[in-house]
Amino acid sequence: MRYKLKLIFLILAFFIGVFSGSQMLFGFFIFVCFGGFVFALYRNVRFVVFVVFMFLFGLLRFYFPFFQNDPGELAFFNDLDQEVSLHGVVSEEPDVRSSAIKLTVSVETLEVSGNSIPVFGKVLVDTWRYPEYFYGDGLEVTG
């Protein structure tokens, strides 16, 4: 039972670290209280140091996401506050619904502010059922 409790404390330290990244002052206060509680409960300096490392690892996880997009990926342009045009090809069979159609489009170029940028990635497009689109059709999507 003692090992399970230690594991729970380590996991909590990681999550408190991630939380501290988003709410720095309040999260740090919670960690100090949590660290004091762990030290009072265990009085084991090595374990408390390990808890601190898990906290720091959680903090670093918040600031350095594992997946960083490069400028050639379509996801790099997420949250762009401009209208863009995507040029690509329907890469999967369309998902036809009663009043709409869902198209998976493999994007080849992105046009923003008159500049055409070569990119790679896929986007799911919801559109009206008609006109019909088929696998392999070239599309320009604006939005």
Q: Are 48 and 39 in contact (CB under 8 A)?
A: yes
**Residue of higher predicted confidence among 40 and 103:** 103
Q: Given this model, what pLDDT does residue 72 score?
A: 75
* 24-81 pLDDT per residue, tens: 666 667 777 777 777 777 777 777 777 777 777 777 777 776 566 677 777 777 777 7
**Residue of higher predicted confidence among 101 and 55:** 101
Distance from C-alpha of 2 to C-alpha of 99, rounded to nearest angstrom? 58
Cis peptide upstream of residue 131 (ω within 30 degrees of 0): yes
Residue 140 bridge partners (DSSP) = 87
Backbone angles phi, psi at 7, to 5 degrees: -65, -40
Q: Are 54 and 94 in contact (CB under 8 A)?
A: no
Q: What 3-state class would DSSP assign to 40?
A: helix
Distance from C-alpha of 41 to C-alpha of 34, rounded to nearest angstrom? 11
User: Where does the pLDDT of residue 1 fall: very low under 50, low under 70, confident under 90, or very high at 90 and above?
Assistant: very low
User: What's this model's pTM, rounded to 2 decimal places?
Assistant: 0.54
Q: Are 98 and 128 in contact (CB under 8 A)?
A: no
User: Roughly what angle, to the nearest 10 degrees, separates helices 2-22 and 45-63?
Assistant: 40
